[in-house]
Amino acid sequence: MLYKLENVKRVHGDRTVLNISELEISPHKIYTLIGPNGAGKTSLLKILSFLDKPSSGKMFFADEAVNFSEKHLYDFRRQVVLLDQNPIMFTGSVRSNIEFGLKVRKMPPAARNERVEEMLALVGMEIFADYDAQSLSGGETKRVALARALALQPHVLLCDEPTANVDNENQEIILQIISKINKVHNSSVIFSTHYLSQGQKLADHTLLLQNGVLSDLTNENIFRGTVIHHSDETFSCQLTGQLALNLPSAGLPAEAQILRLHIDPDGVVFRQQDTDVGKGNSVAGHIVELSQDKGWVRVSVDVGVTMVLRMSMKEYHKQLPALGKKADLFIPHSSVAWSQADKPM
């Protein structure tokens, strides 16, 4: 096992930003870490890259227990590289930045130059070799930072939102490099992203973080709503001015006001004539997006908010949803989960 985490917690002040009861990560695979802002993705990546220590819990790397002494961390850091969400360039040229990690490892100059040239070619930045690294654009900086990390041929490459704030062209280049480095060098890759589709396209495994906790839910159809009516049996949660869902009130505290709703895309269906509407909510809208993803079809429907449902190809051919077409959706109570958005963990 590459990583094993047991009851790992990271606490800042009185706020628990990460609370992972168990996590195992296999070597030589690509993992994607998905979650909304503040879910704990960066905190987890910093711990996995040995740049931060958990407040409590056990961690194993390559089947060896991590004791978080400086010596131990230094040894492990030489096998793992974290690519920051907003990478920063050291003062100097692009070349000097890429060779930094090689220099600190005392690689001979000839081999170092060869590696730098190879990395510049890999990220398509050969002509920028002698440019001032701090004068590059955001996308170019990310590519150079990726080259700087890959020059070390790490066992594990950790990337914190590698495609955030990058144009489409640079996004594609970065994703291709991540995929290539896994295939060619057999490096393990763990990258975080907001985009479920991007993660699933590239990754062997998907990890979803919500409020610092690993979740089985997907990262889509997460909405914030206000409780506008609360009785013993049901409550109404308003998502927008037009859209409110009626849900069973079992377990809802009387003081709850702001909720985070998660609606499972696999649970949402097109309403049929025989649908038992008493066990869920019916909403109407029109289809705004269709996409294919590993044998599944994602349908985005504008119902006041953009609601995503996922269907099999067989179901797709049966329903034949089309862009702009009106759609009546049925959201079963069983596919809705909620948590209090205004209450800390």
Partner 1 sequence: MNLLFDSVHSALLLLFSFDKDLIEIVLVSLNVSSFATIIASIMGVPGGFLIAYSTFPGKRFVLTCLNTLLALPTVVIGLLVYSFISRKGILGSFDLLYTQKAIIIGQVILIVPVIMTLTIAAISRIDSRYRMTALTLGANPLQMAVVILKEARYGILAAVIAAFGRVIAEVGISMMLGGNAKGFTRTMTTAMALEYDKGEFVLAVALGITLMTLAFAINMLFHFFQGRTRSDVV
Three-class SS state of 128: helix
Looking at beta carbons only, is 34 or 157 nearer to partner 1?
157
Q: How far is CA 286 from CA 23, 223, 274, 323, in A?
A: 40, 19, 21, 8
Paired tokens of 181: 């480095």
Three-class SS state of 63: coil
Looking at beta carbons only, is 156 or 327 nearer to partner 1?
156
Closest by Cα among 182, 191, 90 to 141: 90
Looking at beta carbons only, is 48 or 331 nearer to partner 1?
48
Looking at beta carbons only, is 160 or 264 nearer to partner 1?
160
CB of 145 to partner 1, least distance (A): 8
CB of 114 to partner 1, least distance (A): 18
CB of 107 to partner 1, least distance (A): 11
H-helix or E-strand spanning residue 147: helix 138-150
* Paired strand residues for 16: 11
CB of 231 to partner 1, least distance (A): 50
- β-strands 258-263, 336-340 pairing: antiparallel
Looking at beta carbons only, is 86 or 291 nearer to partner 1?
86
Looking at beta carbons only, is 86 or 137 nearer to partner 1?
86
CB of 284 to partner 1, least distance (A): 48
CB of 252 to partner 1, least distance (A): 41
C-beta pairs of 8-16 under 8 Å, 24+ apart in sequence:
8/47, 8/54, 8/56, 8/57, 8/58, 8/59, 9/54, 9/55, 9/56, 9/57, 10/40, 10/43, 10/47, 10/52, 10/54, 10/55, 10/212, 11/55, 15/344, 15/345, 16/212, 16/344, 16/345
CB of 63 to partner 1, least distance (A): 22
Paired tokens of 216: 């089985």
Closest by Cα among 173, 174, 151 to 162: 174
Point out which residues bind partner 1 (CB under 8 A): 49, 51, 70, 74, 77-78, 80-82, 84, 86-88, 90-91, 100-101, 104-105, 148-149, 152
DSSP 89: P
Looking at beta carbons only, is 104 or 121 nearer to partner 1?
104
